[in-house]
Amino acid sequence: MKLDSIALHHGYEAEASTKAAAVPIYQTTSYTFDNTQHGADLNNMKVKGNIYTRIMNPTAEVLEKRVAEMEGGVAGLALASGMTAITYAIQSLTEAGDNIVSTSQLYGGTYTLFSQVLPRMGVEVKLIPADDFAGFESAIDDNTKAIFCESIGNPAGNVVDVKKLAEIAHKQGIPLIVDNTVATPYLCKPIELGADIVVHSLTKYIGGHGTSVGGMIIDSGRFDWAANKQRFRVLNDPEPAYHNLNFAEALGELAYITRCRVVSLRVTGAAIAPMNAFQILQGLETLGLRIKRHCENAEKLASYLSAHEKVNWVNYAAMPTSPYYQNCQKIVKGKASGILSFGIKGGAQAGAQFIDALQMILRLVNIGDAKSLACHPASTTHRQLTAEQLKSAGVSEELVRISVGIEHIDDIIADVSQALDAVSV
C-alpha cells in the first residue's frame, strides 16, 4: 500500500469479539496468563503475547506497526516521548567508554542530552557540522557505535545528506540513526537512503494536533550486529538484564529493537500511555494531507517574509537561495516541511516584540501542530546553551522560528504582517 493507505489501515483488523472498526484503546496494565507455563513462555519470548503495558500494549502495537511500515522498517517501538526514543536508541548500543558521532544542528533537548547527560554517564558525543564529511570520518574510532543526525534539523532547518552519512557510517561498520521528526516519511524515508535506525517524536507532525507526547524507534532490521561482535558487545554478549540472552544470535534482524524493548523499556519504563497511542493514531490518519498543506503554506510565508523590509534573512530549505536547496531536492523531494526561521532587523529585542504582537499564531515551544506556532529559541528551547553552542546548533539570537500550520495562508500572512508592523526598534 501507499503511505496514505498504510496510515489508515496497516496493522489492525477489526478485533474478533467486538468488530470495532477504530483501533480500541486497551486501557489495561496487565494481561492474563492461561497458566504458569504460558506466563513462563511469554517471559522467555517462546510464544508471542502481552505481559504488562510497560513493555507492550495492543493499541501501541498498531501504532508501532503502522509507522514502521511507513518508514520501511521491520519493527517499531512506541515510547513515552521523542526524547525517550533517542535515549533508548543510543542506550541500546553503548556502554561507558563508548562514543557516538552526531551532527551538531540538533533539537535543543537532544543537544543537552548529547552535550551534558550522556557524557556524565561515560558516553561521549562528538558533534560535527552536518556538511563536514571529513570531520565525521576522522571522528569515528574503535569505540564509536553510531552516527546520529536529524534529516531536517530543528530549528536550524538544514537538510542533511543522509545518504552520504550512511555511506560514511557503513564504511566504518557502524549504523546511522536518523531523527526523522520534521521531515516525516512523506518527505524522507531515511531507511531507503541507507539509514539503519529511525527515531521520531510522535508529538509533532505525526500526532499533529498538539494533544499527546510520544516517540518511536524504528529498526530497518538490516544492520548486521554479529559482523563485529567486539564493537557491538551489547547485542552480542549474553545479556544479564534479560535471561543472559544473546540478542544478535537469538533474534537476528529483530535483535536491536527487541533489546530496546526488553532491556531499556522494560527496566527503565518510559512507556507510551494507551490513550496517547490512540490519539497519535488519529493524527497519523491525516498526516499526508497535513504535510502537503504545511509545505504549501510555509513556502508562501517564506516568500512573503523574504520580500519584507524588516526581515534580514529567511531560512527555508525549499527556497532556491537556501544553502540547503540542493540537499532539499536530493533528500526531501524539494519540500522542506512546515518549519521556517527568519531574522528580524533589530535582533533579540525586535524578535521579542514580534512574538508578543502575534494574535492568531500561538506563542509556544512546539512544532508540527495543525495550528501555527511561533517561538524564539534563544530564550526558550536553547536557552541553556552558551553563545558558542548556540552558534554550533545553528541558532542566532535574532532567530524567530515559525511552525507554519494549516490555517488559511491569508490569515497566517495577515498575522505575521501586523506583528512585523508592531516592531518598533
Site for ligand PLP, rule CB under 6 A: 81-83, 107, 109-110, 150, 154, 179, 181-182, 201, 203-204, 213, 215, 367
**391 CB-near residues (< 8 Å, 6+ apart):** none
Provide the residue type at 279 as one letter: Q
Cβ of 403: how many Cβ atoms within 10 Å? 28
Write down the residue that cell numbers 552480542 correspond to.
Answer: 236
Output the smallest distance, CB 182 to ligand PLP, in A: 6
Is the CB of 150 or the CB of 299 nearer to ligand PLP? 150
362-363 and 399-403 beta bridge pairing: unpaired
Residue 76's DSSP bridge partners are 218
Helices 287-306/409-421 angle, 10° precision: 40
**Is the distance from CB of 73 to CB of 66 less than 8 angstroms?**
no
Output the smallest distance, CB 214 to ligand PLP, in A: 6
CA distances from 34 to 37, 39, 45, 58, 389 (A): 8, 7, 15, 18, 55
Is the CB of 57 or the CB of 112 nearer to ligand PLP? 112
**Is the distance from CB of 196 to CB of 170 less than 8 angstroms?**
no
Is the CB of 92 or the CB of 181 nearer to ligand PLP? 181
Is the CB of 367 or the CB of 412 nearer to ligand PLP? 367
Q: 115: which 3 cell numbers?
A: 552535550
Please classify residue 149 by burial: count the beta carbons closer than 10 Å to its beta carbon, then call 0-12 exposed, 13-18 middle and 19+ buried.
buried
Is the CB of 375 or the CB of 423 nearer to ligand PLP? 375
Among candidate residues 407, 341, 333, the one with its CA nearest the CA of residue 374? 341
Among candidate residues 284, 254, 270, the one with its CA nearest the CA of residue 78? 270
Q: 205: which 3 cell numbers?
A: 507532525
Output the smallest distance, CB 110 to ligand PLP, in A: 6
Output the smallest distance, CB 2 to ligand PLP, in A: 25
Alpha helical stretches, state H, 29-146: 36-43, 58-71, 82-91, 108-112, 118-120, 133-139
Output the smallest distance, CB 164 to ligand PLP, in A: 20
Is the CB of 80 or the CB of 409 nearer to ligand PLP? 80
Is the CB of 109 or the CB of 252 nearer to ligand PLP? 109
Q: For residue 78, what is the enclosing H or E element?
A: strand 75-79
Output the smallest distance, CB 201 to ligand PLP, in A: 3
Is the CB of 118 or the CB of 423 nearer to ligand PLP? 118
Output the smallest distance, CB 228 to ligand PLP, in A: 28
Is the CB of 182 or the CB of 248 nearer to ligand PLP? 182
Residue nearest ligand PLP, Cβ-based: 82
Output the smallest distance, CB 133 to ligand PLP, in A: 22
Write down the residue that cell numbers 514502521 correspond to.
Answer: 68
Output the smallest distance, CB 190 to ligand PLP, in A: 13
